[in-house]
């Protein structure tokens, strides 16, 4: 089984969150879903907003969505090792049908896309969709 991957870029974390929620709704019923979410918003969100994010993660987990928060940084530059480590582990252990990966505002979507098209990932992905920039 190969995984469908959606990369969700955008400068506005709230707009990305709305797009991710829409994608999660669209993909409901396709099997296992994993969300690799950004932690960017935690760097400036109020305590109340952070609590709401934790509540949302809990709600998503209750819906059967595996949620993994990635450490901050561009996934093709400063966080490349974090990405490849967590991605390999997630694909092997969770074997999701659908994987949504949120890219932080400073990420380089085209470079992340190229990274995920490297030979080591070819057998893992059915297709990779770079979602239209949401902000």
Q: Structural domain boundaries of the chain?
A: 3-130
Tens digit of each residue's pLDDT, the chain (135 residues) = 899 999 999 888 888 889 999 999 999 889 999 999 887 777 777 888 888 888 888 888 888 899 888 877 766 676 678 788 889 999 999 899 999 999 888 788 898 899 899 999 989 999 999 998 665
Closest CA to 10 of 26, 28, 23: 23
From 1.20.120, 3.40.1010, 3.30.1380, 3.40.50, which CATH number describes the 3-130 domain?
3.40.1010
Q: How many other CB atoms are there within 10 angstroms of residue 57's CB atom?
A: 16
d(CA 99, CA 12): 21
pTM: 0.87
């Amino acid at each position: 089984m190969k995984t469908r991957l959606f990369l969700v870029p955008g400068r506005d974390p709230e707009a990305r969150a709305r797009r991710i929620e829409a994608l999660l709704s669209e993909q409901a019923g396709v099997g296992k879903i994993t969300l690799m979410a950004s932690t960017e918003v935690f760097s400036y969100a109020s305590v109340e907003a952070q609590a709401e994010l934790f509540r949302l993660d809990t709600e998503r987990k209750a819906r059967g969505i595996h949620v993994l928060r990635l450490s901050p940084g561009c996934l093709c530059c400063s966080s490349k090792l974090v990405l490849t480590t967590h991605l390999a582990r997630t694909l092997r252990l969770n074997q999701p049908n659908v994987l949504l990966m949120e890219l932080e505002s400073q990420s380089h979507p085209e470079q992340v896309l190229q990274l995920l098209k490297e030979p080591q990932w070819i057998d893992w992905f059915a297709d990779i969709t770079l979602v239209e920039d949401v902000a």
